[in-house]
Structures are given as structure tokens and as C-alpha cells.
Amino acid sequence: MKKILFVILLMSQQVMACDGGMSFKRMLSIPEKSFLANSMTEKEFKNTIKNFETFFSPMVDRDHNSELIVVGSWASNTVNAYAEKESRKVMITIYGGLARHPAITNDGLVAALCHELGHHFGGYPKKSTNKWSSAEGQADYYATMKCLRRIWVKADNQAAVSTLVVPEKLAAECSQTYKLESDRFLCQRMGLAGRSVALMIQDLDHDSIEPKFETPDDLVVRAMNYMHPYAQCRLDTYFNGAICHVPETVEFDDDEETIGSCDRRNGDERGLRPRCWFLPKN
């Protein structure tokens, strides 16, 4: 069985993904009764997973001739989730400890599930160790561009963000991409879901600088980063996926990076994969 683990460590300043599993000396643990735990309930956790699996199972069966299996372990206190692939089984496992992290909202939990689905269907670039698995940054890009859009395209996104503070930068960029008000609210919701995950990463990295929509990472990589970028770079990726104009119905390709994405070779200047992890071929 080939595995890729999305495992969050306190020992490292990076969130590491490892093939075949590893032994870890320290992992963040958040029990259900911990003072660190958010207000998410076991029922909400299980319903979110059930709805996610129900929504995507027909697509996985129809388009990939595979079975989607999503396992949620509320009892596990580990802040962890991972994707697995075996034969015609597309598997995702997510633990209660991640769902209970104080930065994770209900929408943030969906974004984390979408990230794991992105390892399976996010397309190029693929990891060198697991040829079937998209890179961490690409899984984030898939999460907003394809996965969250599909789930929430018909939802009442205005109501979903009505009680939240939407940063001016996020609102402005969503308005620049989308003419319809409903699309703008969807974009805002996706951006905020991505921020939930990025804030969790900031905490786990012991990073004193909060990731914000207004402060994109200025790092420019010289080689593709297939592992987990830092929190600001991850927020940038979720953000750009949300404001990219390419429809969610246009899938990513496993080899051609311009298909399904915003790319300068397609004439795009916004919604690009951030250079803090992504290196274009040309």
C-alpha cells in the first residue's frame, strides 16, 4: 500500500508529509475535553465527513472508476489527516484532534478534507516519492479551485459569511474576479476556509507572524517545493485558488500545468499558484 501522510509536528517548523509512515516523538494532541478544543461537536464532525463522502463518491466512481472511503476518528486526539491510494480505493482519514484545533472552523474542516482529496485529483505537480499524489501546494490549490467550489456552489454562502469578518482584501479581490454577488460570497467563504487551515499551520509551526490576505509571501523558489509550505504561503495558495476565474468543471491535468489553472501562459495575471512553492516549467 502506498501512503502519504499529512502529519503535523511540533518538533519541526514544517508540516511534513511522509511516504509509508514514520515514527514521531511528539505530535500535537487535543483531547475532546481539552481547554484548547474548539466548540465542534462529534455530531458535526461526523456529519461533515458523511456529507463530504456522499457528495464526492459519485464523481470518484464515475470519473475515476474508484471507491471513495472517508474515515473520521473523533476519538483520536492527534492533529492529523492523510490520504491513501490502493488499487481502486481512494481513501482519506481525518482525526478528531485536527477538528478540535482552535483555529479550525466547520468550513476549515471541509477545506482540510478537500486538501486530502486534492492529493488524489490535484494533478501536476506530482510528488516524486508518490507518483499518484499531487504536491502539498497543489492539493491546497485544488481545495479552493475545484473541491470547495463544487460543494458550495449552490449553498447560501451569503448567510455562511454573514456572521464573519471578511477582510477588505479578500472582498476586493473576489469582487474583481466575479460579477455575480453569489459568486463573490462563495469566493469569500472559500478564502476564509483556507485561512482557518493556515492559522492552524501558523500555530503548529510556532510562527509568530499571522498569515494575512494583505501580506503575501515574497519567497520565490528555485526548485518546486513538493512538501508543505509555511502558513502564509499556504494561505496565498488557498486565496489564489479562490480568485482564479477558471471553472471548477475544468479538471487539472497530471502533466500539463496550464490546464485547469490560472497561468500566465493562458494570459492570466491573477489567481496564479504562488511562487513561494510553485516553479513553472518555462
Distances from the Cα of 113 to the Cαs of 29, 92, 272, in angstroms? 19, 8, 22
List, as own/partner pairs, every contact residues 172-178 make where C-beta atoms lie below 8 angstroms and the sequence separation is at least 24, other chains included. Answer: 173/213, 173/239, 173/243, 173/270, 174/242, 174/243, 176/243, 176/270, 177/243, 177/244, 177/245, 177/270, 177/271
Regions of the chain where pLDDT drops below 50: 1-26
Q: What share of the chain is helix, strand, coil (3-state, %, to 5)?
A: 40, 15, 45
With contact defined as beta carbons under 8 Å apart, do 190 and 242 qualify?
yes
Q: What is the pLDDT of residue 282?
A: 78
What are the start-end ranges of the E strands in the chain?
Answer: 2-7, 16-19, 67-73, 80-86, 89-95
What average pLDDT is seen over the chain? 90
Q: What is the pLDDT of residue 35?
A: 93
Q: What is the pLDDT of residue 147?
A: 98
pLDDT digits (tens, 9 = 90+) for 40-69: 999 999 999 999 999 999 999 999 999 999
Q: What is the pLDDT of residue 27?
A: 59
- The string over 122-134, giving b where at least 16 C-beta atoms fall within 10 Å of a residue's C-beta and e elsewhere, is bbbbbbeebebbb
Q: What is the dihedral of CA 62, 257, 173, 116, to 10 degrees?
A: 50
Q: What is the pLDDT of residue 11?
A: 28
**Amino acid making up residue 143:** A
pTM: 0.90
For residues 212 and 170, give the distance between their C-alpha atoms in angstroms, rounded to a whole number: 10
pLDDT digits (tens, 9 = 90+) for 69-100: 999 999 999 998 999 999 899 999 999 999 99
Burial class (CB in 10 A: 0-12, 13-18, 19+), 259: middle
For residues 145 and 127, give the distance between their C-alpha atoms in angstroms, rounded to a whole number: 20
Residue-by-residue DSSP string for 38-63: -S--HHHHHHHHHHHHHHHHHHHHHH
Q: What is the pLDDT of residue 204?
A: 85
Q: Which H or E run contains 231?
A: helix 231-243
β-strand pairing of 67-73 with 89-95: parallel
